[in-house]
Amino acid sequence: MCRLFGLSASPHRVRASFWLLDAPDSLVQQSRREPDGTGLGTYAADGTPVVEKQPLAAYGDKQFAEEAKHRYSTTFVAHIRFATTGELLPQNTHPFAQRGRLFAHNGVVEDLPRLEAELGSDLGLVHGDTDSERIFALITRHIDRNSGDVTAGIATAVRWLADNIPIYALNFLLTTPGELWALRYPDTHDLLVLERPAGGPSGGRHLQHASEAGRIRTRSEHLAEHPAVVVASEQMDEDPSWTPLRSGELLHVDRELGTRREVILARPPRYPICLDDLNERAAAAQTEK
């Protein structure tokens, strides 16, 4: 499945280093399916979104993913793509930017013609072929309809999706320069949250996180002195404070690092998709470790 990683240190602008793909150095790693894309989203000092992403279609692309990226931001989002819809192109690689916000998704929804019809003129926000970018456009549409209220826009968009579109999984991260939102729906894939005090459990350590499969690694010396909230599709270190989001639970991390968790969708999808219903490509993407 795709890997999600989000971090907020708001209101502090901190430096974090990312390695989005480890160079293969063992038979175990080489036996795994290769990811289809990597991306990192940050914000410049003036709040402008900065997206660095690359489909992994050639060796040179993998070099891009293996190189360390040292970036300053208040919020960060990283994504490793295992493609389910869309070719291996930059416009199909996460994260996506719309209206100054960044978005990355892990999951599958179907009946894209129905979703496109609902988007209407807002389909112009979409530049690629993925279900993910169309989900983001629907959320953006609903944020606009809710006068810029991101939480309300997410809630109404997700409820529409749950009632109208076949869903296998709809886990995502959405960020602005100072805020972060994360949703898990339904309980197909994990999405975990860590509210990390400055210095971590010992009070004096920098942040050092790595996914079990070696897909995403990140380090931040500044988080020895500043607190942060981390969201990831798997537990990234041994800190016992990681907690899973519940199905339908939306996390909001505000500009002062305050957190609110609320179940915005307690019912299952009207049209649930089972793993056996997915085509071979999509099923492989959702089960890849």
Whose CA is closest to 21, among 59, 53, 63? 63
Q: Which of 90-94, 185-189, 219-223 shows the lowest mean pLDDT across its residues? A: 90-94
**Which pLDDT value is given to residue 59?**
55
Does the pLDDT value for residue 28 go beyond 50?
A: no
**Which pLDDT value is given to residue 35?**
79
Q: Which of 62-66, 203-207, 254-258, 266-270 shows the lowest mean pLDDT across its residues? A: 62-66
Higher pLDDT residue, 52 or 275? 52
**Which pLDDT value is given to residue 277?**
63
pTM of the model: 0.91
Q: What is the DSSP string of the chain?
A: --EEEEEE-TTS-EEEEEESSPPP-SHHHHHSPPPSEEEEEEE-TTS-EEEEEEE--SHHHHHHHHS-EEEEESEEEEEEE--SSS-SSGGGSSPEEETTEEEEEEEEE--HHHHHHHHGGGGGG--SS-HHHHHHHHHHHHHHHTTT-HHHHHHHHHHHHHHHS-EEEEEEEEE-SS-EEEEE-SSSS--EEEEEPTTTTTTS--EEEE-TTSS-EEEEGGGGTS-EEEEESS--SS-TT-EEPPTTEEEEE-TTS-EEEEES--SPPSSB--GGGS-HHHHHHHH--
**Which pLDDT value is given to residue 60?**
60
Arithmetic mean of pLDDT, 37-63? 85
Asked if residue 74 lies in contact with residue 44, where contact means CB atoms within 8 angstroms, the answer is: no
**Which pLDDT value is given to residue 2?**
75
Q: Each residue of 157-202: pLDDT tens digit?
A: 999 999 999 999 999 999 999 999 999 999 999 999 999 999 999 8
**Which pLDDT value is given to residue 12?**
97
Of 140-154, 189-203, 261-275, highest mean pLDDT: 140-154
Arithmetic mean of pLDDT, 23-40? 62
Q: By percentage, how much of the chain surpasses pLDDT 70?
A: 87
How many CA atoms lie within 13 Å of 210's alpha carbon, on the beta-carbon side?
Answer: 7
Arithmetic mean of pLDDT, 15-26? 75
Confidence of residue 94 (pLDDT cuts 50, 70, 90): confident
**Which pLDDT value is given to residue 33?**
62
**Which pLDDT value is given to residue 111?**
95
Arithmetic mean of pLDDT, 101-115? 94
